[in-house]
Structure 1
Amino acid sequence: MRVGPQDDPVSSIAVLADDLTSAGDGAAPFRRAGHQAKVLLSTVAEGDAGSLGGSVYEAGAPALGGVVAVDLGSRLLDEPAAVTRAERAAREFAAADLLVKTVDSTLRGHVAAEIRAAHNGSGRRAVVVAPAFPAEGRTTVRGIQHVHDVPVHDTEFARDPAHPVRCSDLARLLPEAQHLEPEQFEKLPELIGQGGLFVCSAAMDIDLDRLVSSAPRARDVLWVGSPGLAAALARRHFRTPEAARPGLPRARRPLMVVGSANPATRRQLDRLRTRADVATAASADDPTTAVHALRQASAPVLVVHTPDERRTTSGSLTDDLAHAVRELATAGTVDGLVLTGGETAVAVLEALGSKGIDLVDEPEPGVARGVLLSAPRIPVLIKAGGFGDEGTLDRLCRLLMEGGPVS
């Protein structure tokens, strides 16, 4: 669906994300709407003298008319470091016609601190915050964030091992903000002109469409939200899609890489293990054992995952997983990847020496599909740990093996 009329055309779009899956989720709707897009890792650490924007453009940002989605890696930092990185990134990309700061739809991470920092760096008059993602059951009702009608602090995300969610109330997270219900969005032109921070409830995609249509000029706003808001912005700021896009090569030996501890992903892993054409190995302590087992396997689909029972720190488990993937991919044992979990995806891309992916499309909500920006130039799908139903990994595996045309 297109939302129009398109009376506020944009040429350059920047998406600033706190992890890799959020960067992919934020860019994918714009790719679907006809924009070229790249999802890039940020290689600039806190205190580096170099420019974040410069490092990103050196990594191969698209020409005018495209989307640059940058993983700032800030969710894994402590709050002061996350604030520094978010403010710097917003300053570097302040000239973009459309500036989007993504936040997790379950409010994990340094949400409030990064919003304030990005506002300071962007110089934008107003900040519009709308974290709802209705397609995945994440809604904002009277300022309270829900997952399938349950306040997020009462869901499994409250037990997230890295970023437990303690508060669902955006008024508590952002007490300086003015709260708006969908029937109040008509006030936005005047409110944006006055400046400030606005938290917007939304339970359906039509609410988000109404929200973005209410802003007279996208350039006046720092947009803050999850893939739901990105999709609404893409529907409003669409381009004429290319007549034809090249299909992706078919993966004959895909590798499914499961690093997320989220229960949704572990259920998807359990479902994948039931397939007769799948060989699995856990990567822990000594990843060479997993590499050897998968190289010897005759099954066409390979799966490497962190242990079902965690025995070491999350960081070392992720490093072991990335080491195993590098060994398998660089040796040509596999020719396609499905990466689950933002931290896992970053570790794998870094291990492969890739600065990101050339984004192709979004085959399912919360899933980015593209090609590695460096050798081996193989297809890759990246999925956030908390997204999808029990059959999601099974479907993504089949999609990778089918190749061919893209949506």
Structure 2
Amino acid sequence: MWVGPQDDPVSSIAVLADDLTSAGDGAAPFRRAGHQAKVLLSPAAGDTDSGGRNVYEAAASAPDGVVALDLGSRLLDEPAAETRTMRAARAFATADLLVKTVDSTLRGHVAAEIRAAHAGSGRRAVVVAPAFPAEGRTTLRGIQHVQGVPVHDTEFARDPAHPVRCSDLTRLLPEAEHLEPDQFEKLPELIGQGGVFVCSAVTDVDLDRLVSSAPRAREVLWVGSPGLAAALARHHSRTPEAVRPELPRARRPLVVVGSANPATRRQLDRMRTRADVATAVADGDHTAAVHALQGASAPVLVVHSPDERRTASASLTGDLAYVVRELTTAGSVDGLVLTGGETAVAVLEALRSEGIDLIDEPEPGVARGVLLSPPRIPVLIKAGGFGDEGTLDRLCRLLMEGGPVS
């Protein structure tokens, strides 16, 4: 594994994300590189807690390590997303390393949140690199691709909440200067001058070169997906813990599928072929789904949204969260695989958990941890668009194995 020089050691790292899966994806590479990490939810009420305190300032006062904060801003309108992002960036402005995650397919309020984070952080420069080569998401001549196709020509153009209309980052951020990998050597001078820089990358080597070309990490607001986070973690690695963490073995895991992404639905189809899996649909009559799964003899349970959505997304995630809460409270399940950012947030809120203690990243784009609040059960969180047809199957088996984390 490539590890950059430790010319700019860091201890406090902040990851600001627009949804929960992005928060987990952004923090996981740093955890693997030896940093302690927590993934936290923003309170449902907004930017202040019950005592009126700024929740971002409270999170920023945490001990050294990684704090990855789900701002929940992808679900907000653009002005509200800007306000929340700016407040969070201002609270975490003194972090040694400040990362603003963006979706590798450019869904969400990408340009607006980048500008808000820049203004709030006061950082001299913004380096934007959304490539995630491990999942086939690359940036070529400033245009974002998925498996070689511009993202606006892929299934992400039909995303029900944030359809992607533009793949060209230089159009989304016309104020930015575009750099190809063979121009990264100019970054030290450019960062000193300040500005926004869109960086193309098609391989992890390109991302490593990008990070190593910026010697003053504290002057930069880093903007990217798990690919950039992994490159930053490789460059700013710490000595891993001598004792490997150990996760409890889930004897009866529950797989929760709320994402409508075709990749996840193919993974769900694969799970439904297993003889040891019992499934139920949460579609309005969530009580029936609870009873069906509680009465099942199969060791693995799956609850999912309908294959064809007929109700609002919020209603569907609420149904799924209800099923999870009832089964978990009754002790019917002791491990969770959560697919889809909105679904994961709804489930954690239903379980009254502020987030997860992050353990590792067993696959690209998958965060594994333990609930911060009782019951302290293992959890795997995966974004809807990630993985191959066997991903959910593998994650489920991983939960059932338990034991030391490699």
> TM-score over 0.5 for the alignment?
yes
Amino acid of the structure 2 residue aligned with 1:31: R
In 2, Cα distance between the equivalents of 1:212 and 1:349? 34
Aligned to 2:17: 17
Instruction: Report Cα offsets for 1:235-288 as digits up to 9, x if no partner.
Output: 000000011222101000000000000000000000000000000000011100
Deviations 1:337-387 (A, max 9, x none): 000000000000000000000000000000000000001100000000000
SS at match of 1:9: coil
8 Å Cα contact 1:82-1:110 kept in structure 2: yes
Q: Secondary structure at the match of 1:14?
A: strand
2:26 corresponds to 1:26:
yes
The AA in structure 1 aligned to 2:97 is L
- Which residue of the partner structure matches residue 362 of structure 2? 363
Runs of 5+ unmatched residues, structure 1: none
Q: Which amino acid aligns with 2:29?
A: P
Distance change in 2, residues 1:140/1:57 (3 Å): closer
From the superposition, tell whether residues 297 and 317 of structure 1 become closer, same or farther in structure 2 (CA, over 3 Å): same
Q: Letter of the 2:159 partner, please give it.
A: D
Distance 2:47 2:256 in 1: 32
Q: Secondary structure in 2 aligned to 1:308?
A: coil
Say whether residues 1:53 and 2:53 are aligned partners.
no
2:68 is paired with a residue whose SS is strand
State how many pairs are aligned: 403
Deviations 1:104-143 (A, max 9, x none): 0000000000000000000000000000000000000000
2:94 aligned residue: 95
Alignment of structure 1 residues 1-400 onto 2, 5 Å: 1-43=1-43, 45-46=45-46, 48=48, 49-56=52-59, 61=62, 63-64=63-64, 66-400=65-399
Partner amino acid, structure 1, of 2:38: K
Deviations 1:155-178 (A, max 9, x none): 000011111111000011000000
Q: State whether residues 57 and 92 of structure 2, in contact with CA within 8 Å, keep that contact through their aligned partners in structure 1.
A: no
Where 2:16 maps in the other structure, the secondary structure is strand
**SS class of match (2:404):** coil
**CA distance, structure 2, for counterparts of residue 70 and residue 106 of structure 1:** 20
**Alignment-mate amino acid for residue 292 of structure 1:** H
2-side partners of 1:55 and 1:298: how far apart? 45
| Identical aligned residues as a percent | 85
Aligned to 1:158, what secondary structure does the other structure show? helix
* CA drift at 1:5: 1.6
Q: Does structure 1 retain, via aligned residues, the 8 Å contact 2:143–2:167? A: yes
On the 8 A contact 1:358/1:370 being kept in 2, the answer is yes
Which digits, 9 at most, give the CA deviation of each residue in 1:297-334, with x for residues without a partner? 00000000001111111110110110110000111000
**Within 1, Cα distance between the matches of 2:362 and 2:351?**
24
* Residues 302 and 362 of structure 1, relative CA distance in 2, 3 Å threshold: same
Residue 53 to residue 360, structure 1, CA distance change in 2 (3 Å): same
- Deviation string, structure 1 residues 156-206 (Cα, Å, up to 9, x no partner): 000111111110000110000000000000000000000000000000000
Residue 276 of structure 1 aligns to a residue whose secondary structure is coil
C-alpha displacement at 1:47, in angstroms?
6.4
Equivalent pair of 2:47/2:54 in contact (CA under 8 Å): no
TM-score, L = length of structure 2:
0.98
Question: SS at the partner of 2:380?
Answer: strand
Instruction: Write the distance in 1 (CA, Å) between the matches of 2:331 and 2:203.
Output: 44
Q: Provide the rounded CA distance (Å) in 2 between the counterparts of 1:139 and 1:45.
A: 36
Report the secondary structure of 1:358's partner residue. Answer: strand
What SS does structure 1 have at the residue aligned with 2:246? coil
Cα pair 1:250 1:404 within 8 Å, conserved: yes
State the distance in 1 between where 2:324 and 2:161 align.
23
Q: How far 1:52 sits from its partner (Å)?
A: 2.7
* Alignment RMSD: 1.1
Q: How far apart, CA to CA, are the structure 1 residues paired with 2:222 and 2:57?
A: 23
Aligned-residue offset at 1:54: 3.7
Contact residue 60 and residue 92 of structure 2 kept, 8 A: no
